[in-house]
Amino acid sequence: MSTQTAKRTAGIFILSTLFLLLLAGMFYWQAVGADVSNPRANFWRVVRDGIPGFTKVTTAGHHILIVNGGENWREIRNGFITPFSQWILALALIGVGLFYFLVGSDKLEKPRSGVKVERFTLGERVLHWYIAVVFIIMAVTGLSLLLGRLALIPIFGHPAVSGYLQASKILHNYCGPLLLAGILLASVLWFRYNIPKKMDLQWFKNMGGMIGHRRRPHAGKVNGGEKGWFWLVVVFGIGVGITGVLLDFPIWGQTRFTMQLSHIIHVTVAVLFVTVSFGHIYVGTIGIEGVFEAMWTGSVDAVWAQQHADLWYQEKIREKEAKPETTLP
C-alpha cells in the first residue's frame, strides 16, 4: 500500500470515528441529558421558573426570588420599543420635510379681503393652547426618559443627564393627569363638530386641495383632516392617560404584570401620538396659511373661510342676514 493511500485510509477512519462518537453523544444526550446537564444551569432554571418560596414580607410578588416578567419587560422596552421609536420619529420628521419641499405651503388663492370672521372663541383658544403646552411638556420629558441614555448621556454626561431625567420624571408624572383632563374636556366640547360625514372622504382624496392644486372640497367648520386629528387625540390621549394614571398611582392593587403591560402600552401609544402630532404642528404653522392666525387671534379672513370651510362660511353669512343689526364677524 502506498503512503498516499495509507494517509487517505487513516483520514477516513478518523473522520468516521469522530462522526460515530458525535452521533452516539447525541443519542446519549437525548436519553439522559437532564441527568448530566450543568447543575448550576439547572439551579437557575428552577429559580427563574417563578416557584414561590417563604418570606415574611406580605407585599404581592415578594415571595418569588426572580420574577421573569421583569426581564421580558426590559427586553421589549430596550430591545424593540426604543429602536422602533427612534426610527419612526426620524422617518416622520423626514416625511414632513419632504412634503414641505415637494408640495410647499398651501397659500390663499385670492388676496385677503380684510373682512374678519370669528372662528374660535377665547375659551376654545385657551383650552387648545393649554392642551398644546402640556402635550409638549409630556412629549419632551417622555422622550427624554425613553431615549435619554442613548441621546443625552454621550453629549452632556451622566451627572447632568441624571438630574435632568429626575426632574423630567417628576414633571411628567404631575402633568399627565392635567393632559388627560384637558383632552377629556375638549372631546366633550368639540364632539359635535367632529362627527364624520361622507364629504370628509373627498377631503382626504387630495388633502383638501393641498396636493395637485385641484378643486377644493366642501367643508364645514371642521374638515376631514381636522376630524381625523381630533379622533386621534381622543383615542391616543385616553390610551396614554389611563395607562399613565395606573403607573402614577399604584394604589389599586395593580400587579407587576399590570404595571409592566401598562408601561408597554403607554410608551407605544405615546410615541405614535408624538409622531402623528408632527403633521398637525406642520399644518398649524407653515403648512396652511392662516391656520395659526385662526387659533391665535380667533378670527380668519373671509377669503380663507371661502377656500377652506365654504359651508361654514355660508352658515355665518346666513346668521348675519338673520341679524342685520350686528356687524359681520
Report the percent of the chain where pLDDT is more than 70. 78
- The C-alpha cell that represents 265 in the structure block: 402600552
Higher pLDDT, 2 or 257: 257
User: Does the pLDDT value for residue 33 go beyond 70?
Assistant: no
**Confidence tier at 95 by pLDDT (50, 70, 90):** very high
Asked if residue 119 lies in contact with residue 298, where contact means CB atoms within 8 angstroms, the answer is: yes
User: Does the pLDDT value for residue 315 go beyond 70?
Assistant: yes
Q: Is the dihedral angle over the CA atoms 12, 17, 23, 26 positive or is it negative? A: negative
DSSP run (H or E) holding 152: none
Instruction: List pLDDT tens digits, range 131-167.
Output: 999 999 999 999 999 998 888 888 888 889 899 999 9
What is the CATH topology of the domain spanning 69-322? Fumarate Reductase Cytochrome B subunit (1.20.950)
Asked if residue 194 lies in contact with residue 231, where contact means CB atoms within 8 angstroms, the answer is: yes
User: Does the pLDDT value for residue 213 go beyond 80?
Assistant: no
**Confidence tier at 7 by pLDDT (50, 70, 90):** low
User: Does the pLDDT value for residue 217 go beyond 80?
Assistant: yes
Instruction: List pLDDT tens digits, range 187-212.
Output: 999 999 999 998 888 888 877 777 76
Q: What angle do CA 142, 152, 97 make, to 5 degrees?
A: 70
Asked if residue 306 lies in contact with residue 313, where contact means CB atoms within 8 angstroms, the answer is: yes
